[in-house]
């Protein structure tokens, strides 16, 4: 594989990256981007088995190396197995992209069932905690450890249209990122990204076509983002190009919301 970043701070040759939720959307695009930069990639999936297999095939066609890692990350045994299997395969873990997450369903807080609230935190926070905790020793041993957590614009908006439980969980993930950046420095860096509206299957399921067009009109850059654009920011945070960045949060919303 021709390595486009060879000899640059973005070169990940010899490093290993675990990407959760790598079957579709941002996860799949990021797995591809990290592989193109030279990383060995762990392609985790829960329900998107066929799509994850396609992602791995695409990585291998590029001359990259990776492994499929099935598992329900809300289960501690399964989460540990995903991390341990990848560590055994790659011999190291340098990069962890906690991307797996799901809004599940929409509900106002007033009408939110307790089980839905708990599930939102299990899927979007508890899973990242389990994977991260298991991976920390390997990330420390790496010497180049980098954790990137995928948040959501709902952290800033409060979650529109019944996305409050999801927004609250993603907000907790933001605080988790800051905690990791303090506890693991200077050995491991931890940062987060906050994508706006991305043209992925996620919005095909949870957002109407009319609403997607409305989002485009609201965005100064005149469009929604693509998954591969988000992936390039993850690559930056995973690489030595960001070696003085930790505890950070990068907005990726085309200027639609400013902080």
User: Is residue 10 in some structural domain?
Assistant: no
202: pLDDT confidence band, cut at 50, 70 and 90?
Answer: low
216: pLDDT confidence band, cut at 50, 70 and 90?
Answer: confident
pLDDT tens figures, 10-28: 999 999 999 999 999 999 9
Give me the number of domains the chain comprises.
Answer: 1
Give me the mean pLDDT over the 94-113 stretch: 96
User: Is residue 210 in some structural domain?
Assistant: no
Phi/psi at 23 (nearest 5 deg)?
Answer: -75, -35
203: pLDDT confidence band, cut at 50, 70 and 90?
Answer: low
On the question of pLDDT at 140 being above 70, the answer is: yes
Rg of the chain (C-alpha set):
17
Q: What is the dihedral of CA 108, 171, 45, 78, to 10 degrees?
A: -100
Its pTM surpasses 0.85: yes
Alpha helix positions (H), 62-163: 76-90, 114-121, 127-142, 154-157
On the question of pLDDT at 206 being above 70, the answer is: no
pLDDT tens figures, 234-247: 999 999 999 999 99
User: Is residue 223 in some structural domain?
Assistant: no
Domain of residue 165, residue span = 16-199+228-250
User: Is residue 83 in some structural domain?
Assistant: yes
User: Is residue 35 in some structural domain?
Assistant: yes
Least confident of 29-43, 119-133, 190-204: 190-204
Q: Is 166 a catalytic residue?
A: yes
User: Is residue 98 in some structural domain?
Assistant: yes
User: Is residue 62 in some structural domain?
Assistant: yes
Q: How far apart are CA 208 and CA 135, in angstroms?
A: 38
What CATH number is given to the structural domain containing 194? 3.40.50.720
pLDDT tens figures, 151-195: 988 888 888 788 999 999 999 999 999 999 999 999 999 999 999
Q: How far apart are CA 194 and CA 149, in angstroms?
A: 9
User: Is residue 5 in some structural domain?
Assistant: no
Query: Does the CA dihedral 8-57-51-130 come out positive or negative?
Result: negative
């Amino acid at each position: 594989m021709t390595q486009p970043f060879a000899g640059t701070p973005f070169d990940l040759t010899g490093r290993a990256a675990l990407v959760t939720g790598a079957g579709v959307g941002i996860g799949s695009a990021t797995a591809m981007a990290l592989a193109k930069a030279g990383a060995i990639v762990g392609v985790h999936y829960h329900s998107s088995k066929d799509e994850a297999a396609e992602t791995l095939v695409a990585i291998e066609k590029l001359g990259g190396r990776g492994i499929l890692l099935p598992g329900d990350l809300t289960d501690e045994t399964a989460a540990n197995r995903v991390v341990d299997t990848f560590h055994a395969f790659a011999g190291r873990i340098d990069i962890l992209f906690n991307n797996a997450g799901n809004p599940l369903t929409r509900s106002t807080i007033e009408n939110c069932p307790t089980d839905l609230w708990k599930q939102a935190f299990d899927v979007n926070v508890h899973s990242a905690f389990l994977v991260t905790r298991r991976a920390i020793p390997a990330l420390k041993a790496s010497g180049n450890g980098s954790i990137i957590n995928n948040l959501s614009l709902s952290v800033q908006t409060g979650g529109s249209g019944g996305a409050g439980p999801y927004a609250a969980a993603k907000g907790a993930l933001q605080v988790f990122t800051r905690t990791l950046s303090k506890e693991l420095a200077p050995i491991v860096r931890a940062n987060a990204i906050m994508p706006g509206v991305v043209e992925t299957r996620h919005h095909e399921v949870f957002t109407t076509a009319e609403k997607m067009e409305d989002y485009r009109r609201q965005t100064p850059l005149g469009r929604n983002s693509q998954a591969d654009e988000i992936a390039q920011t993850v690559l930056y945070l995973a690489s030595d190009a960001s070696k003085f960045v930790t505890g950070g949060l990068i907005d990726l919303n085309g200027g639609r919301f400013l902080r």
